[in-house]
Structure 1
């Protein structure tokens, strides 16, 4: 059987992705589930994070969001039986894991996949759903009546945040990065219930669009928003044309209301003393969103599985409707992964 791996470059050498033959142990450990993979999601690989947690290998398995059919279960596994359809994220720490493969051994992470949900859809959207759930529920503690600002709401992650927030009665504001994305966001409607727009205000940030701060304060009566979730932050005034679409860190702090929560995806964020002073005056908080945090502690596995199941159930009922991803075959996986790794904010799905 074949698997997709990352061969990390040394120094300035370019990172390579390769497909090569691999094998799994014939004897399955008592707490593992062996799954025949039907679809696998590809997301950017954080090599620095792997080095920080002590994972250094010549070949690193790639593609950890999987959907497939159970082939074999260990002696201590009671939740699954052969032929069950499952979905889950594979842990980095397990030695018997080869994510994108015909078969994988999965530890502690799968949940049942509803029949009406396609393997390609759930594998491609699982990471974004998990990040949105973590940002809104775990970090921001959202509640009905809150006001939320999502930057770049037309992205796959932003769309998940918008839909999840609206389901829980949160008023949503978002930014758009192009006329096409602006139209898409204004036309968003729930799949069930009252067909009011999901987004209360779409704020364009392209072609000399109005100031973000003034629009948000006008929309919130000068109070600011309770939650901000970004997809990247601009740290300096001078930036490239692409970076100018991102909000400046000072603007994000300025739009926060008293006691607000800022959840950032910018792992290298740096705040100056005036920024910290403004956060202090507002008694606001800043949280970093790390998609891998749930796999860092085994004590969180029960909560983690509950989140995965809730995400899959909401996809099945239409509460969460991810943007469709065009699946690629295994022989195109290396090219697809190189594109994902280079652009960082994109993703891909491999269908087996």
Structure 2
């Protein structure tokens, strides 16, 4: 990094000019999340997290100095494209210090998935040692980290898989392999066999539920029905859903009421909607990188590409892998 390259770049007093080493990209496909994107960014690969070196700081920045190694998440309304990303200005409150032993690629890869996992498991599901957790189609990059964290915290993890390829991915998570469910119509029986008829303490779906029961006979293993999930919950169970337009029918609502079960909506961007959560949000990000550095979190599903290949490899989007661009 040459100081001559940054001397003519003005920095907002509350922002940090970052020399980007790596960034993770994604296509935001959910309609609700697309509402937060800058105009014209829908259906384009956008940068969600970055890692790099502080090139310059604004006059009011207190937590960082030039030369610090940092990583951070970009809110949806500040999402950027790869064009001209080598030097980019980011508000100080979205960055944390990166452990020196942790690689640039892992730092950029695990923050968003880690934040999603922490939000679902710790703050919404309140996972405790001995709890049972069911991840619906948990072989994507977020599901892998959720499974690793839940097992680290002492929970028994059950994961659904669409096919043998996804089952193999799940077996690679650790030597203590999560249980893998191999058929959609057998979900309830599988859960009851694994839990001794008690049901699951927490279920996390990936936002692709069947709209109605009739759809459940299509052999689409990744789409359980709402009734499937509710029938598998234990007394006092928690259902964390990624589906923003979820509607519960009265009979299912009665079952939830009798079980004393609850539903939480998973939206990781909620952390930046209130300044009251700022300290807790940064603490979560720091803990994610610490766990990645110690090996607790190991994002196996990572693809590292040079920036020149992004346009020619558009077939990778959308993907279950975390896609990292090395600049």
Distance 1:39 1:56 in 2: 22
- Report SS of the residue matched to 2:267: coil
**Match for residue 73 of structure 2?**
89
Confirm or deny: 8 A CA contact 2:301 2:322 kept in the other structure: no
Distance 2:104 2:307 in 1: 15
Confirm or deny: 8 A CA contact 1:121 1:324 kept in the other structure: no
Write out aligned runs for 1:116-127 (5 A). 116-127=101-112
Confirm or deny: 8 A CA contact 1:235 1:269 kept in the other structure: no
Greater displacement, 234-243 / 327-336 = 234-243
**Match for residue 154 of structure 1?**
139
Confirm or deny: 8 A CA contact 1:204 1:210 kept in the other structure: no
Shift in CA distance, 59/152, structure 1 to aligned 2, threshold 3 Å:
closer
Distance 1:272 1:48 in 2: 23
- State the 1:93 CA deviation: 4.3
- State the 1:334 CA deviation: 3.6
- Cα RMSD, aligned residues only: 2.6
Match of 1:235 among 211, 214, 219: 211
Confirm or deny: 8 A CA contact 1:261 1:284 kept in the other structure: yes
- State the 1:335 CA deviation: 4.9
Flag the structure with higher helix content: 2
For structure 1, which runs of at least 5 residues remain unmatched after alignment?
1-22, 190-194
**Match for residue 169 of structure 1?**
154
Q: Does 1:322 align with 2:307?
A: no
Distance 2:103 2:266 in 1: 28
- Report SS of the residue matched to 1:105: strand
**Match for residue 36 of structure 1?**
19
Shift in CA distance, 346/267, structure 1 to aligned 2, threshold 3 Å:
farther
- State the 1:230 CA deviation: 1.1
Distance 1:286 1:148 in 2: 14
- Report SS of the residue matched to 1:159: helix
- State the 1:28 CA deviation: 1.3
Confirm or deny: 8 A CA contact 1:337 1:348 kept in the other structure: no
Q: Does 1:350 align with 2:325?
A: yes
Shift in CA distance, 238/109, structure 1 to aligned 2, threshold 3 Å:
same
Distance 1:336 1:300 in 2: 38
**Match for residue 3 of structure 2?**
none
- Report SS of the residue matched to 1:213: helix
Match of 2:182 among 190, 204, 212: 204
Distance 1:250 1:345 in 2: 26
Q: Does 1:215 align with 2:187?
A: no
**TM-score when normalising by structure 1:** 0.81
For structure 2, which runs of at least 5 residues remain unmatched after alignment?
1-5
Distance 1:233 1:36 in 2: 41
Distance 2:232 2:149 in 1: 21
**Match for residue 72 of structure 1?**
56
- Report SS of the residue matched to 2:302: coil
- Report SS of the residue matched to 2:191: helix
Aligned length, in residue pairs: 315
Shift in CA distance, 88/210, structure 1 to aligned 2, threshold 3 Å:
same
